[in-house]
Structure 1
Amino acid sequence: MTSTATRPNAGPHVDHPVPAVDPADAPDVDVVVVGAGLSGLVAARDLQQRGFTVRVLEAADRVGGRVASATVGGAHVDLGGTFVGPEQERILALADEVGVRRYPTHEAGDNLLMWRGDLRRYRGLVPPVGPAAVLDLARIRAAFERLRRTVPVGRPWDAPNAAALDAQTLGSWLHARRAGPASHDLMAVVCKTSWGCEPSEVSLLHVLHYVAQAGGLDALLDTRDGAVEQHFVEGSHEVAARVADQLGAGVVRLGAPVLRVDWSSTGVAVHTDRGTTRARRVVVATPPALRRRIRFVPALPAPHRQMSQRWAPGVLSKAYAVYERPFWRDAGLSGMTISDAGPVFITFDTSPADAARGVVLCFIGGDHARAWDGLDPAERRVRVLSALADHFGPQALEPVGYTDQRWGEEEWLGGGPTAAPGPGAVAELHARLTEPVGPVHWAGTETARRWAGHMDGAVSAGERAAREVAADLASPAPAPTPSKETRR
């Protein structure tokens, strides 16, 4: 698959005129799914397997959503979701079912730390930031782990002092705990990687719950036995493409952004500029912030509208440098680096299993991404390769291929890798992520109970939405609401 073309940031919603259609008219299909990312595709497939007719409407010109792939310098690269871990059972089962293989992320050798201008080699999980700083980091991590264990998985609003936790950011909590500079900066690396934002921008309650539903910081961050243990031979996008193929010809309609959804107790009318589809139910499988791009008639309840405004995505970009071979391994290096300098703050060796090419995956997130994303392509390339040369030497300046992906510039996504709600947006609104509104149901990785923000969360959310819709359609239909004329 080739890289998708970047587009300018989406502007405010424009209400395109669409013909009035009664949602109660005879349906064209049982269910419309809005969004052909992993979550929407899985929801559509599961519903189809249960005997329902479906139609998937996708605004972009490809399926996959936040998974996308490219071939660069003779190597496959994943521009979006990349890694999977042993506890991520739903994405692993789906990949196995559709025949997409996986292989271990390379980790043999020394890691590198660029810290305060000094390059250091190390083994293990704890970077060598100095004895006092290591002790401080252990103290901060222990306090964080104690606190995250108080947050119920799937119900963060039920945590003790949920409102108080939600009123803080991760950054303000670190300040209150008197975290040292090294501890703060290393937690910022976690923040940029996980949510594409700075510690001062994201709700502490959200961070605690996100880590809790992944099983802890180690499960979230580790290579071996953690969430970056493996990646796919054919690429994560191939999973989405094969699921889309299973749906059959004509089910997925690309380049069809949904403009408006008219809904009633009996069904929906889903409008695009290419026509209208009537259905008994609709599953909206987009990031929460993109819900505001659709006009719902009647309007959604206020909390659901606030969700789309306050659960904005972070900004995380990726770059790949491809070399004739993974030359850093000759020096006993793993290819994994951490840096406090930017724009690249963490890297991984994602070379193919046979090492026929050397591939370095670079992450640029938060403030670094906001600055780097606005540069022209040549300057972006220079800055990434210069950062790699600081770690791996001058050979890093001469790749056989290079590409980057700025998710914040994608019109129909607007950022990534997942939502980064600010303070005050979680305790009150989290429950609305999955709460149906009449015939309107929700999917997308943010709505998952486990591994939200990951591919596994996208798959499980699609499965959950399909179960809910199937149960809803199997229940007795509600009595129709009397019209104004009847009430007279």
Structure 2
Amino acid sequence: MSAPSDIFDVVVIGAGFSGLAAADKLVKAGMSVAVIEASDRVGGKVYDRKLPNGCIVETGAEFVGPYQDRVLELAKDLGVETFKTYCKGKSIFHSKSKTIAYDPAGAGLPVDDEALMQLGTAGQTLDQMAQELDAHVPWEHSNAPIWDMGTMASWLDINVPHQEAREIMNLSLKSLLSSEPADVSLLQVLVYIRRAGNETTVGTFRRISGVAGGAQELRFVGGPQQIAVRLATRLGDRVKLSSPVRSIKRQDGIYQVSGDQFSIQGRHVILALSPPLAARINIQPPLPSRRDQLCQHMPMGSLGKAVAVYKTPFWRDHGLSGMALGLNGTEVQVTFDSSPEDGSCGILLGFLEANEMRHFDSKTEEEIQAAVVEDFVKFFGPKAREVESWVIQRWDNEEFARGGHFAVCPPNVMTQYGVAITEPVGQIYFAGTEASPYWTGYMDGAIRAGEIAAERISSGVDAIGIRAQL
């Protein structure tokens, strides 16, 4: 890892999708780049583990769908193929009073007409509000201060009073944001919906929550971490692993980026990290108060995956898709068939979200397995006990993640500090999925944010089109 005169044009901190995408674009622009990663692997919260039987378990980000243009284009460029998420057959709806197998393509969820009506109206209303926002500067909308004043839970209190409908909305939002509706502002949710598209297509609630035609429609053959691994291979020795950055110090227009056993220099820096993690680096001179306050006010969501591996995807033999919704009385609230495309083994994925994940942060893996298998039995019958192996991934407990899948905004954060998410400070630029105008919280958003930061540097133009001082 060397640069002319030992000063890199750009030092990228973080070798997740955002940092690697930024570095790739900068190298193509002819700039010298160093990528510094704290952990011993690339990919960030995209992390695949290979089991002894050869099956791949996607313990981090897993799904992609329509309008996620950048991740799909990059995967194609790197030779990583996709296949459709298995969703054939009936899904399971479980509550304290009933367990029902239903056809999601038929009459819909097995709840009463009033619940269905409230769910439909709530989704349409959220879409209409979201579509009014500018994806790049949503906090500038005239209603943004009002929408940012209360939590999503307070909006549901008024608009979804039916108990079962409310539980379904709570479950949906927790699975999307890895946070309780009481943790995030209404504006945050509207922005999340609005950004589930691209430059020509606005997002919808159905798109972010759906499988067929939605954000969970596709998976990557062999797992999505291959994208990061192949990008890193293309970048070669520009990528340095196992190197946590402790400090960034600017002197005479040059940034000194240092860790416990290294120190390098760069003319520009890209922090391709979530705001809470970026705040852990000692930066001199200190960042402006607005950026620092942003980092203090945006917590990571709480997310885990409990993955059970079976000899075969036995649920398919019973006409089930492997998808289940557990409304109450379960630790796992959403499941997916996460088996490989060829069905050579059965992999059942259970999401642990928000309060449920927090409950398990200090538990042993054996305790988590014992609780989760009981939920799987409730959903799919006694054969669900025949687990051959488990993979438990708790992103809250990962040193260089501390939660997933992105940092969220409680009330009065986005309108006060939202602009600071992407606003450069000197020649320090910010990436990470939180900084994307589309697909915030997704792999696609991470790539977009990294490429935007790289473009601002390589073109010499900052966020508002003013020539940056180089």
Structure 2 residue 444 is matched with structure 1 residue 465: no
Q: 1:111 Cα deviation (Å)?
A: 0.6
Q: 1:312 Cα deviation (Å)?
A: 1.1
Q: 1:267 Cα deviation (Å)?
A: 2.7
Q: 1:102 Cα deviation (Å)?
A: 1.3
Name the counterpart of 1:358. 346
SS at match of 1:62: coil
User: What CA distance in whole angstroms lies between the structure 1 residues aligned with 2:469 and 2:206?
Assistant: 47
Name the counterpart of 1:39. 18
2:118 and 2:159 in contact (8 A); partners too: no
1:343 and 1:372 in contact (8 A); partners too: no
SS at match of 2:123: helix
Residue 61 (structure 2) aligned to one of 81, 84, 91: 81
SS at match of 1:460: helix
Q: 1:124 Cα deviation (Å)?
A: 2.0
SS at match of 1:359: strand
- Residues 125-164 of structure 1 show CA distances to partners (whole Å, capped at 9, x for unaligned) of 6321222211222222222222222222121112222111
With 102-111 and 369-378 compared, the bigger mean Cα shift is at: 369-378
Name the counterpart of 1:11. none
User: What CA distance in whole angstroms lies between the structure 1 residues aligned with 2:379 and 2:262?
Assistant: 53
Structure 2 residue 420 is matched with structure 1 residue 441: no
Residue 321 (structure 1) aligned to one of 308, 315, 318: 308
The code of the aligned residue for 2:138 comes to P
- CA RMSD for the aligned pairs? 1.8
Name the counterpart of 1:103. 83
User: What CA distance in whole angstroms lies between the structure 2 residues aligned with 1:255 and 1:326?
Assistant: 37
Name the counterpart of 1:152. 134
Residue 332 (structure 1) aligned to one of 293, 309, 319: 319
Q: 1:410 Cα deviation (Å)?
A: 0.6
Q: 1:266 Cα deviation (Å)?
A: 2.3
Residue 190 (structure 1) aligned to one of 164, 172, 176: 172
Residue 72 (structure 2) aligned to one of 92, 103, 128: 92
Identity %: 35
Q: 1:28 Cα deviation (Å)?
A: 2.1
1:151 and 1:160 in contact (8 A); partners too: no
1:342 and 1:368 in contact (8 A); partners too: no
Residue 398 (structure 2) aligned to one of 410, 431, 448: 410
The code of the aligned residue for 1:221 comes to S
List aligned pairs for 1:13-162, cutoff 5 A: 28-72=7-51, 74=53, 75-124=55-104, 126-162=108-144
User: What CA distance in whole angstroms lies between the structure 1 residues aligned with 2:294 and 2:151?
Assistant: 18
2:298 and 2:409 in contact (8 A); partners too: yes
Name the counterpart of 1:378. 366
1:169 and 1:202 in contact (8 A); partners too: yes
Residue 171 (structure 1) aligned to one of 114, 135, 153: 153
User: What CA distance in whole angstroms lies between the structure 1 residues aligned with 2:286 and 2:239?
Assistant: 27
User: What CA distance in whole angstroms lies between the structure 2 residues aligned with 1:79 and 1:354?
Assistant: 19
Name the counterpart of 1:254. 241
TM-score (norm 1): 0.90
1:265 and 1:478 in contact (8 A); partners too: no
SS at match of 2:99: strand
List aligned pairs for 1:195-206, cutoff 5 A: 195-206=177-188
Name the counterpart of 2:210. 222
Structure 2 residue 228 is matched with structure 1 residue 240: yes
TM-score (norm 2): 0.93
With 467-476 and 377-386 compared, the bigger mean Cα shift is at: 467-476
User: What CA distance in whole angstroms lies between the structure 1 residues aligned with 2:290 and 2:339?
Assistant: 45
Change (3 A) 1:227 1:384: same
Q: 1:236 Cα deviation (Å)?
A: 0.9
Unpaired runs of 5+ residues, structure 1, are 1-24, 480-488
Q: 1:424 Cα deviation (Å)?
A: 0.7
Name the counterpart of 1:10. none
- Residues 158-180 of structure 1 show CA distances to partners (whole Å, capped at 9, x for unaligned) of 22221111111100111132532
The code of the aligned residue for 1:329 comes to R
Residue 426 (structure 1) aligned to one of 377, 395, 414: 414
The code of the aligned residue for 2:38 comes to A
Name the counterpart of 1:312. 299
- Residues 419-447 of structure 1 show CA distances to partners (whole Å, capped at 9, x for unaligned) of 12111111111111111001100111110
SS at match of 1:85: coil
1:313 and 1:417 in contact (8 A); partners too: yes
The code of the aligned residue for 2:374 comes to S
Number of aligned residue pairs: give it: 454
1:56 and 1:253 in contact (8 A); partners too: yes
Q: 1:90 Cα deviation (Å)?
A: 0.4
The code of the aligned residue for 2:244 comes to P
TM superposition outliers: structure 1 runs of 4+ over 3 Å: 473-479
Name the counterpart of 2:263. 276
- Residues 439-468 of structure 1 show CA distances to partners (whole Å, capped at 9, x for unaligned) of 100111110111010000011111111101
User: What CA distance in whole angstroms lies between the structure 2 residues aligned with 1:176 and 1:332?
Assistant: 38
The code of the aligned residue for 1:345 comes to Q
1:73 and 1:400 in contact (8 A); partners too: no
1:107 and 1:334 in contact (8 A); partners too: yes
SS at match of 1:356: coil
Name the counterpart of 2:200. none
Q: 1:89 Cα deviation (Å)?
A: 0.8
- Residues 174-200 of structure 1 show CA distances to partners (whole Å, capped at 9, x for unaligned) of 113253212221121122112211111
Name the counterpart of 2:384. 396
User: What CA distance in whole angstroms lies between the structure 2 residues aligned with 1:451 and 1:83?
Assistant: 12
Q: 1:222 Cα deviation (Å)?
A: 1.1
User: What CA distance in whole angstroms lies between the structure 1 residues aligned with 2:51 and 2:146?
Assistant: 47
